[in-house]
Structure 1
Amino acid sequence: MRHKLAGTLILLGLLLQILGFVDLLPLSHLVGYAFWLATALLWRDTPRRTRWQAGALTVIGVGLLALARLRFDAAIAWPAILDGNTYVVAMLVGVSFIGLIGNRSGSKRPLGRPVTGRRGTAGTWLGVHMLGTILNLSTVFMIGDRLARRGPLTTPQLLALNRGLSSAALWSPFFASMGVVMTLAPALEYSRVLAIGLPLALLSGALTTFELSRRFDLAEVAGFSLSPRSLLMPLAMAALVMLFHYRLTPQLGIVSIITFLLPAVALASNLPAGPRWTLYRVRQHTLVRLPAMRGEIALFLSAGLLTLGLSTAIAAATGSEWTLFDHFGAREAIFSFLAIVASAIIGLHPIIGVSVLASMLDLGADRQTLFAFTALASWAVGTSVGPLSGINLSLQGRYGVSGYRMMKHNLVYALVMSGLAVAAILLLDRMG
């Protein structure tokens, strides 16, 4: 009963967010209330590490708000304190509905024929990367489970899964990282981020294939062969998002478009099978899949509360005049990137570092693209190497590999990718 109510509340939060896009939301804070109440209902089922992190962030955020009010007499809009990152959470919930597309009979359609060797490893990285741009973490399980049919996953397979997904954070407009960044830096130029982030992601794939082929014997390591048909859905969805963004609903940001478009496409794909079938699939998704998102929802909501508390306390203590940097240029961006990656290695999710950094900056429109890429690059590298990142915790829970073992195997990769990211930051800053 508790899971059913929580899943319903998460769905309600998504629907309320969509109503807000057309100014039909009865009360502006209902979205946050729905998500937070669902999180509370699912708290005991949330993984312990996530509970500790989310709980600490929430306590610190509320404490900072109380400090700002009691010590500095700051004006706090208490009914609105639960609104942080609700846009991102709603987007994540919306993206989850993509799993309802196809598979009407309940059978799992093969994604491709496994191959071995360097080609297979490259195929695993590319498959997770391309499909993961839309399907996010679920792609790791789709491809990983297929590879696991031939035996327990090996270290090269796990590393290819890890890096294929995490590197998509560099450019994919469907990723949570991009949702957070677009919320924190609404004036960013996505075309410039894409022009830098996509080549850097491809370099990640080349580096992964080269490094793993030197460190491991890949002759018998099964990989994933990506067929052109498998790419049709991700490319079609990306094209639809761009169509709405530039033509049909230019007043909405990409995060908002994804939030309503992906569930709409998922529903439309099921309607030919009949309303009863469609309702059944939505009900199953609401009662099973949405409660399973409790960990990421809790983390994003609590990080939003921390950001609000930190920014409010800093503004109250400094009279809104203090910022971490007087100017956010290449040097400051590189320092920020390295600090966030370092915090990920010691166990903090990159969203925490990105949110804290944003709360201490006063960015003009011309600096927001540089900040956005810095945040995305630190997210991509940090989640690959961080032992407590979502991808590594998921691999640990699904396939039994330690997050700290993944960190150890990814240290050299993270070092090389950090060097490439620093070079990209310098290039982006020089481009102006």
Structure 2
Amino acid sequence: MQETSSRQRLAGVLILLGLIAQILGFTGLVNTAHAVSYLLWLSVALLWRDIPKRSRVQAGVLMGLGLSMLLVARLVYNAEVDWPAMLQGNAFVAAMLVGVSFISLVGKQQGRKKASGKKLTGSGGILRTWLGVHFLGTILNMSTIIMVGDRLARSAPLSMPQYLALNRGLSSAATWSPFFASMGIVIALAPEMQYSHVALFGLPLAMASGLLTTLELARRFDLSNVLGFSLAPRSLLMPVVMALLVMVFHFWLTPELSIVGIITFLIPGVASLYNLREGPRYTLRRVRQHTTTRLPAMRGEISLFLAAGLLTLGLSTLVAAIAGSDWTLFESFGASQGMVSFIAIVLSALAGLHPIIGVSVLASMVSLQGGEHTLFAFVGLCSWAVGTSVGPLSGINLSLQGRYGVSGYRMMKNNLFYAGVMSLLSLGSIAGLSYLVS
């Protein structure tokens, strides 16, 4: 293993401080948003030369575009820009990924033991990977990608079918999970939505994703040596325990925090307690080793997420400056409007924009009444599920790219057929839900 330099070790300490600042911010005693973003961006600056060239070029382009759009919004359209806060985009997601990385302090010890359960390959293995990521991901969100992906990567480098199963298993949870980030966004934008109606159409749509993934990958790839995620008790123990703890904090202990926030502090806490069984010195040694070696190695993930956040801020600021607040896109929001909106958001995801941008911009251009809230929410969830699966700059694909080195555009190319079929199913579901709520 290549020894880290003092520059890399300093960057690791800054990343750890960014995580600590984020956790301190959850207490409400002090606003640490600026500190988190500045610490993480400074670590990226220190690690910039170590980032793989492809990721470095992509991050640089995203940063340049985001900053340019902010400048245009300010200088051409006289928009208000909070310059000190311009680096905050996606900082909370990056901090969550840093927190999730501490699961390796438990996983490495468990990894020395031979996992129980028969190794499963073929289409059955793909289906189990999809099922494991999907149902654990409904609660643990994006951290599931890392948990399951790292476990699969212990046997051999991940293959494209495994990447696609991870991607689709998690992205499809957006259609129905009440704990997914997408649901929190659409509830905020359409507060009168009826969850039972959304789940009635969203859950079957997610199951169709699993069936399509299994059949399509079995047809396109030789899966005879592609290992699937084991659903044996030992493999599921850590994710299930974490999911239960997240639920305890979400419903009883810290209901004011989002699922992402809970995961950010919970996984490092559990990992530290786990290691304390061996004593404080042992725990500190492992945390120090993790800080100086593993955290600097996250430079690809952190840089891409922060750069994409700057792009999102620049684009949303420019769109708001150009469109203004008085214009309304639709007089009413029905099936046809929902379908057009879905297609537009998915196409924007293909162009590299996160669906949250399209959904948020759409919300600012429509006036919803009655059942339109539910239909709008479902359109947002479907476009999120399809858009994040195929979009090269979605959080899921950025995480896979930063952690495992797979190209986001390669993922997009391999997901085009899947996205097309899921889009047709989504459009049909939008029409059906429109009839139900009208």
Shorter-chain TM-score range: 0.7 to 0.9
Tell me whether 1:9 sits opposite 2:17 in the alignment.
no
SS at match of 1:101: helix
Query: Which of 111, 115, 136 does residue 110 from structure 1 map onto?
Result: 115
332 and 121 in structure 1: CA distance in 2 versus 1, 3 angstrom threshold: same
Alignment of 1:23-422 (within 5 A): 23-25=28-30, 28-104=33-109, 107=112, 109-110=114-115, 112-130=117-135, 134=140, 135-139=143-147, 141-145=149-153, 148=156, 159-168=164-173, 170=175, 178=182, 181=185, 185=189, 197-214=202-219, 223-322=228-327, 330-345=335-350, 348=352, 350-351=353-354, 353-359=355-361, 361-362=363-364, 374-385=379-390, 407=412, 409-422=414-427
3-state DSSP of counterpart to 1:226: coil
**Using the alignment, how far apart are the partners of 1:127 and 1:64 within structure 2?**
40
Identity %: 58
Is this contact kept in 2: 1:132–1:139, CA < 8 A?
Answer: no
Deviation at 1:198, TM superposition (A): 4.5
TM-score of the aligned structures, taking structure 1 as reference length: 0.79
Task: Find the residue that maps to 2:102 and give its secondary structure.
Answer: helix
Task: Tell me by how many angstroms 1:431 deviates.
Answer: 4.7
| 1:195-235 residue CA offsets vs partner (Å, 9 max, x unmatched) | 65554333222222233445567667654442134333323
Q: Larger deviation: 81-90 or 130-139? A: 130-139
Structure 1, unmatched stretches of 5+, are none
Whole-angstrom CA distance in 2 between matches of 1:213 and 1:146: 23
Query: What's the CA shift string for 1:153-187, capped at 9, x where partnerless?
Result: 77655644553354445556787x64994798595
Q: CA deviation at 1:194?
A: 6.1
Aligned residues: 425
Q: Distance in 2 between matches of 1:399 and 1:257?
A: 25
Aligned equivalents of 2:356, 2:70: Cα separation in 1: 19
Bigger Cα displacement from structure 2, 183-192 vs 252-261: 183-192
Give distance in 2, aligned partners of 1:106 and 1:219. Answer: 24
The residue matched to 1:208 in structure 2 has which SS?
helix
Shift, 1:37, TM fit: 1.4
Report if the CA contact (8 A) 1:69-1:76 is conserved: yes
Once residues 292 and 325 of structure 1 are traced to their aligned partners in structure 2, the CA distance between those partners, rounded to angstroms, is 47
Q: Letter of the 2:102 partner, please give it.
A: F
DSSP-derived class of the 1:301 partner: helix
What is the CA-CA distance between 1:273 and the residue it aligns to? 1.7
114-123 vs 152-161, which deviates more?
Answer: 152-161
RMSD: 4.1
What SS does structure 2 have at the residue aligned with 1:68?
A: helix
Residues 95 and 105 of structure 1: CA distance in aligned 2, closer, same or farther (over 3 Å): closer
- Deviation at 1:47? 3.7
Alignment-mate amino acid for residue 84 of structure 2: P
1:73-105 Cα offsets, whole Å, 9 max, x none, are: 333322222222322222222223233235437
| Cα distance, 1:235–1:394 mapped onto 2, change above 3 Å | closer
**Contact 2:172–2:206 (8 Å) recurs in 1:** yes
1:3–1:291 contact (8 Å) kept in structure 2: yes
| CA 215–365 in structure 1, closer or farther in 2 if over 3 Å, else same | same
Q: Secondary structure at the match of 2:416?
A: helix
1:299-320 deviation digits (Å, cap 9, x = unpaired): 3323333333333334444543
Q: Is the 8 A contact 1:147 1:224 kept in 2?
A: no
1:274: how far off?
Answer: 1.3
Q: Which amino acid aligns with 2:325?
A: S
Write the distance in 1 (CA, Å) between the matches of 2:302 and 2:184.
13
Kindly indicate whether the alpha-carbon contact (under 8 Å) linking 1:337 and 1:375 is maintained by their aligned counterparts in 2: yes
With normalisation by structure 2, the TM-score equals 0.78
CA distance in 2, matches of 1:212, 1:105: 30
Change (3 A) 1:50 1:428: farther
Query: Is the 1:330–1:425 contact (alpha carbons within 8 Å) kept by the matching residues of 2?
Result: yes
The question of whether the paired residues in 2 share the 8 Å contact of 1:125 and 1:160 is answered with yes
The 3 A distance-change label for structure 1 pair 258 and 114 is same
SS at match of 1:95: helix
**387-396 vs 223-232, which moves further:** 387-396
Cα pair 2:152 2:227 within 8 Å, conserved: no
Q: Deviations over 1:271-292 (max 9, x none)?
A: 2121122222222322233333
* Cα distance in 1, alignment partners of residues 376 and 292 from structure 2: 38
